Amino acid sequence: MDTTTLMLGLLFGSIGMGYFMFGKKQGRLVPLGAGIGLMAIPMFLTNPTACTVTCVAMMIAPFVVRDG
């Protein structure tokens, strides 16, 4: 694990926490799931490019997929 991977994990994990709290407060499943994914994905992807692409896609998902 290098510095880039750690910083990306911190960045996307923080954003994921915001999505998670918003989804929990509003009772919406898509932001809740995206938040959980954003907090978990950086732990499993070690390639910075793959991590960034995957996390950006998960950040966009709540705006594209609407629940209830």
Tens digit of pLDDT for each residue in 44-65?
998 999 999 999 999 999 999 9
Domain assignment of residue 15, yes or no: yes
- Please check whether residue 42 lies inside any domain of the structure: yes
Number of domains in the chain: 1
SS3 content of the chain, % helix, strand, coil (to 5): 85, 0, 15
For residue 67, is it within any domain? no
Residue 35 confidence class, pLDDT cut points 50, 70, 90: very high
- What distance in Å separates the CA atoms of residue 42 and residue 8, rounded to the nearest whole number? 7
Q: What is the pTM of this model?
A: 0.90
**Residue 30 and residue 27: Cα distance in Å, rounded?**
9
Beta-carbon contacts of 46 under 8 Å, excluding residues fewer than 6 positions away, are 1, 5
- The answer to whether residue 68 is domain-embedded is no
What pLDDT is stored for residue 67 in this prediction?
76
- Residue 9 falls inside a structural domain: yes
Domain that residue 52 falls in: 3-62
